[in-house]
Structure 1
């Protein structure tokens, strides 16, 4: 390897690696040199290297000391060169640590973990979602992708922040989309609804293009764009306006002494819905007779899905083999 090739290779390495190699080479050089200058004071090269590190770091244990004039001259050069090199290494390492923390908060560091949840879009809804996930499972890793934030401190929110446009492949690669568990795309309510939905659909296309199998949950504001979001690859489309309009309707026309919003909120916070195929032993049974079957396992049968029709708490329905049951159970 000629000098130019070595320089090309050496200066392409990270600065901390270069410093570590430089420190090792300098200390090995001085340790070997002092061993041959004063072999009786330094019985082995390792003893010389140990002395070089201790002297260069200005610790000075005194277990090995050069006694001759040439040995002490070597010690002077070691203090002048090696001491400065070690000090420079420590300050550079500290600066790199601070810069890395700054890059993390500014969303410049790629995520290397697996089985994480990617949350796209930072708003009050996703803030609360992050808090809920952290409360339920503190070990669940989350990655936030957003282009409007300039900085997000990890100590404030337990997410790995990636700054950038989520519809760009390079940004999704930084979020390690290939190894993610699921994706939530939240709408930007600060812009016009149709434009927000178009952005959501573009992001859905980008996510699906980078990972064909990942579950995508997309938030859509206008009814006309729900089908487009599904065509783009969204597995679940949440129509925020539909949900809120229904809640408003219940708040306006509910029965006296009822609190629909608080009831739904507490229900979803403590319980989860699941869809299961009809157990064979319940085939041909009535909906009413099937309810006790699930109550034994602390589960509540609330409805049936039959040929895309949702039958919630039906009065009198005979269960069929192709039915999907809607079950309410506690979070595990």
Structure 2
């Protein structure tokens, strides 16, 4: 409030000086500053340092006050430039921190940033999807900005416990939310609070302790990855069937080049010609037309592995298949949806 009063007082003094110039100059028949408009034009030209020279004081009082206006104009100009710079920097800092939010929809949200989250983000982005990342470290913002394009990734700096802040990443319009905390207890408490605010959020978490998997599922979490459990299975596979393990590791990664193969899932919509058809018909068409291998079907949230002939493919089912990267665009065009949707 005090600063505003100082600014107001300085403004009134400046205006008074301009009016005084007009009054003194109007007393002289030789003066070119006759009206208030002339006086303000002289002040504006002086303030902007243009200096046309069409208006200038000729009386002694006018020159003295004019000198004060010139000095004051330098101060005002410096103040305006400083204020604009500060405001611009504040805006850019808020933008960098994600303060203004994002318009991403049908995207993925990663809460908690580290090396593991970066690898997850890479896979999602390689699949042509958008990602919103939430971190509580401003240092991470620079790293994320260097790694990814803003058209693919939005980053938000926020306190993880501030559930209201997640509206800025459109949690209620996302496909899935991946919670990536190191502590299982922190993850559990966080997800419970998140689900209270956004009950429809489809949440995926990783847990360090496999024995807590059921606890997480009972808390309303949709998918729980026991990281050590997955790693141990893959290691055992490398010991027992190394070629199978290598192939498995390649399949679960998103294809980057045209030669890479990965496992994909596609939603069956009303427009898809597979809706209402036999699974085996879909299997044959995908193999013949796209060299893709159909390996499973998802109905009512349950995975049917290698369904038998006679299994009916229904609307809102998912087909799970293996395909190479060069077939992905053709498959997305055929199904009318992107991979994973």
Q: TM-score normalized by structure 1?
A: 0.68
Contact kept? 2:178, 2:203, Cα under 8 Å: yes
Which residue, out of 138, 144, 156, partners 2:134?
Answer: 144
Deviations 1:100-151 (A, max 9, x none): 666777x6x734333375421121122234455566669x46342236x666
1:69 has 2:79 as partner? no
* Local SS of the residue matching 1:176: helix
1:87 aligns with 2:74: no
Q: CA shift at 1:48, angstroms?
A: 3.9
Deviation at 1:22, TM superposition (A): 8.1
Return 5+ residue gaps in structure 2 as ranges.
149-153, 330-337
| Aligned-pair CA distance for 1:317 | 3.7
Task: Name the CA distance, whole Å, in 1 between partners of 2:131 and 2:32.
Answer: 55
Q: What number of residue pairs does the alignment pair up?
A: 302
Q: What are the equivalent positions in structure 2 for 1:112-131 lying under 5 Å apart?
A: 112-115=101-104, 117-131=108-122
* 2:167 pairs with 1:173: no
* CA RMSD between the two structures: 4.3
Contact 2:238-2:244 within 8 A present in 1 as well:
no
2:296 matches 1:303: yes
Matched, 1:203 2:190: yes
Say which SS state the counterpart of residue 146 (structure 2) adopts: coil
CA deviations on 1:183-232 (whole Å, 9 max, x unpaired) are 321131xxxxxxx2111111112222222333322222333323332333
Change in Cα spacing, 1:233 to 1:70, as seen in structure 2 (3 Å) is farther
The residue that corresponds to 2:282 in the other structure is: 290
- How far does residue 295 in structure 1 lie from its aligned partner after superposition? 4.7
- Unmatched segments (≥5 aa) in structure 1: 1-6, 12-17, 189-195
Closer, same or farther in 2 for the Cα pair 1:261/1:317, shift >3 Å? Answer: closer
Q: Distance in 1 between matches of 2:90 and 2:311?
A: 62
CA contact (8 A) 1:282 1:290 kept: no
Measured in 1, the distance between the counterparts of 2:60 and 2:194 equals: 70
Partner of 1:218: 205
Sort the Cα spacing of 1:199 and 1:74 in 2 relative to 1 into closer, same or farther, 3 A.
same
Residue 308 of structure 1: how far off its partner (Å): 6.8
CA contact (8 A) 2:296 2:306 kept: yes
